[in-house]
Structures are given as C-alpha cells and as structure tokens.
Amino acid sequence: MEKWTGGDMHPSYRILMGPGPSNVHYRVYQAMSNPVIGYLDPQILACMDEISEMLRGVFQTENRVTLAISGTGSSGMEASYVNFVEPGDLVVIGVNGFFADRMTQVASRCGAKVVRVEEEWGKIIDPERMIKVLKEHPEAKICGLVHGETSTGVRQPLEEIGAYCKKVDTLLVVDAVTTLGGYDVRVDEWGIDVCYASSQKCLSVPPGLCPITVSPKAMDLLRSRKTKVQSFYLDLGLLEKYWGEDRVYHHTAPASMFYALREGLKIIFEEGLERRFRRHETLGDRLKMELEGFGFKLFAQEGYRLPMLTSVLLPEGVDDLKARSRLLNEYNIEVGAGLGWLKGKIWRVGLMGETCKVRYIHCLTGALRDILT
C-alpha cells in the first residue's frame, strides 16, 4: 500500500452501561493530552509516587508494594499466580463464574495443582465450606477468590476466609477488578495478601492499567522462590525496583495512562470513598427496581448483589441480540450480554464510576420503554 486513503475515525459517544469499560471524566481525557515524557523523568516518577499513595487509600492498605501494572486487569490475574506459584504447588480456587474459572486456567498454566471449590453461577461460595477445603489442604500456596464476579453480578464475602488465611501460610489472592473504587475493598482489615483491579471500571479511567497491592507476607514468599518468576514483564520483584526507591528501569511506562490514573484517583478522593460507595449502592438499588418494573428478574443471590453491576434474566419473549443492538444503534447505550452458558439469558447492566448517575438510568429506562413496548 503506497498511500493510506481511509478517512478519520470518529467513534460515536456511548453511554457505557455494560460490565466495563465505564465512561471517562473529561478531566481524565485532558490529563492524557499532556506531553509524553521519559520513563525515568523526575516528573513521571513523582506521578508514580502519587499513584501509589492514592491506590493505598483506595485499597485501604499500608502495603509498600502498591503499584499499577502496565496492562489490563487480566495482567493482574497473571501476576498474582506467576509470581507466587512454582510447578507442583497446590492452590485452592473458588469457582462460581467465568472469571473465577479463568483463575484456574492461569494457575494451571503456571504448573499449579488446582483444587476447585465449585458453586452455581450467581451464588456465593460459602466461607465455611472454603475454609473447610483449606484445612484439608494445609499445604495450599494460594486461596483465590473473585470479590465481584463480573459474569454474574455476585459479591463474594471475604472477611472470614481472610481471617483464616492470616493464621496460616496460605496467601489470599483476590480479584477486585469490578469492585475497586465502587465498593469497600479492605485489604489490610480482611487479610488479603494480593489484590488486583483494573483502571476501566469503577475507577473510570481508560483500560490499560492494573492496580495491584501485595502484602509483606506475599513478598517474603516471592523472595523465597526456588525458581525464577517465569514472566519477566510481570515479575513483581522487578516492578518493585522500578516503582520503589531504586528506580531500576524495567519497561517503557505508558506515561499518558499514568496521567489518566492519577487524575481519576484524584477525582475519587475529591468525592470521598464513603460518598462514592453510597452513590453506587443507592443508584444500584434504583436500577434494580427499574429493571424489575420492566419484567427482568434479578439473577445474583439476594443479599450479595453487586451495586455497580446488575445481572438480570430477560423477560419472556425478549430477543437478547435484537434488543441490545437497538439500544446501541438507536440510543447509543451499551449493556453487556451473558457469558458462557448465560449467553442469551441475562444482561449485565453496569453503573460504574462516572456512569453511575441518575440521568443514565433515565436514559436506559426511556429506551427500554420504547424497545420493549
């Protein structure tokens, strides 16, 4: 091809009410337009320090190793296993959804022996049952759980399991991709050793960064490995040296994304964590009530439904693909389809971060009134 003749790209504005990404605050876009600078420039290092400090606040932790991996939330899942699992290690993973199942796949690729604690999709894994399995396998290196299962909209209670893991050598690894920034994630209080999230959901930053925090207990285990971490890019020991006082070069940092995350975190603390959590809870309840009024049935287990992601069974006679296509093409509203065996059976409707506003609920209900009637 001698000359590219394609036109400019101008994506339509969408109201992002799916399972992520969420809409982005204009200040975050403005921050991204700042000049790109080098990965060891004092200004980018200062930006990284501010990101680490604010992430400690959102994770509610004192962990020194708290940083943002240059990758999406899935990179955090990979890092959480590749750093701590050596071939032959046993891990116990609670599986009650699509992303919990992905955890088992990642662990297996690291050479782990995986014990799956299965539960029906949409229901929590009973903490007592999880602890019972851990007691049966005291050699378990990791106990893995998804805090907010993006495929089903269920919130997994962690406190009891974390209290048990505090007393033993097993690390508690938690996926907070959907919950961080929209719901309490008390890393230190709950005894979580490794917790990872993503930039594009309740933090309302474009996809591309993965906040992660690692306890001293987990870092001690990492340093006692018999073999090298098989991933250079996700080696937390190397990333610690870049984000910490040593400032040893590791990779070319995505400066524009660092600017974006810094600004997104600033916006969170301007609102305040408690107010932000209440906003998601109040409007999440409002959305659930509105959807039930249209004949949708709530899918996730009662008492453990995520405020920022509502899963609903479709009313009888509603064609999943046609209805979602009309929402997108006629009203510029995106909602999420079901994953796995739930494809065509449920919608996953998000109210995350910047999208969690009354006016977007009104937009959705107005569109549904036209489409469903």
> pLDDT for 167-176, tens place per residue?
999 999 999 9
CATH of domain 27-268: 3.40.640.10
Looking at residue 51, its pLDDT comes to 98
Looking at residue 373, its pLDDT comes to 82
Looking at residue 283, its pLDDT comes to 98
Q: Confidence band (pLDDT; 50, 70, 90) for 295?
A: very high
Nearest partner of 173 among 93, 71, 266, judged by Cα: 93
Bridge-based pairing of strands 15-17 and 333-337 is parallel
Looking at residue 181, its pLDDT comes to 98
Looking at residue 115, its pLDDT comes to 98
Looking at residue 7, its pLDDT comes to 83
309-316 average pLDDT score: 97
Lowest-confidence range among 6-20, 205-219, 247-261? 6-20
279-283 average pLDDT score: 98
Task: Give the residue range(s) of CATH 3.40.640.10 domains in the chain.
Answer: 27-268
* Number of neighbours of residue 163 by Cβ within 10 angstroms: 15
Model pLDDT for residues 216-253, shown as the tens digit of each residue: 999 999 999 999 999 999 999 999 999 999 999 999 99
d(CA 355, CA 22): 6
**Are 180 and 202 spatial neighbours (Cβ–Cβ below 8 Å)?**
yes
Instruction: Please check the confidence at residue 343 and state whether its pLDDT lies above 60.
Output: yes
Model pLDDT for residues 83-124, shown as the tens digit of each residue: 999 999 999 999 999 999 999 999 999 999 999 999 999 999
Model pLDDT for residues 38-52, shown as the tens digit of each residue: 999 999 999 999 999
pTM greater than 0.95 (yes/no): yes
Instruction: Give the C-alpha distances (Å, rounded to integers) separating 23 from 194, 207, 277, 313, 334.
Output: 27, 11, 17, 25, 11
The domain defined by 15-21+273-372 carries CATH number 3.30.1490.20: no
Q: Confidence band (pLDDT; 50, 70, 90) for 3?
A: confident
Percent of the chain with pLDDT over 70: 100
Looking at residue 285, its pLDDT comes to 98
d(CA 171, CA 147): 15
Q: Tokens for 69? A: 């991996």
Task: Give the residue range(s) of CATH 3.90.1150.10 domains in the chain.
Answer: 15-21+273-372
Looking at residue 1, its pLDDT comes to 57
Looking at residue 6, its pLDDT comes to 79
**Are 245 and 251 spatial neighbours (Cβ–Cβ below 8 Å)?**
no
249-277 average pLDDT score: 98
Looking at residue 2, its pLDDT comes to 72
244-264 average pLDDT score: 97
Helices (H), the chain: 26-32, 42-59, 73-82, 98-109, 127-136, 159-166, 187-190, 216-223, 236-243, 255-271, 273-293, 320-331, 358-372
Nearest partner of 103 among 170, 205, 177, 18, judged by Cα: 177
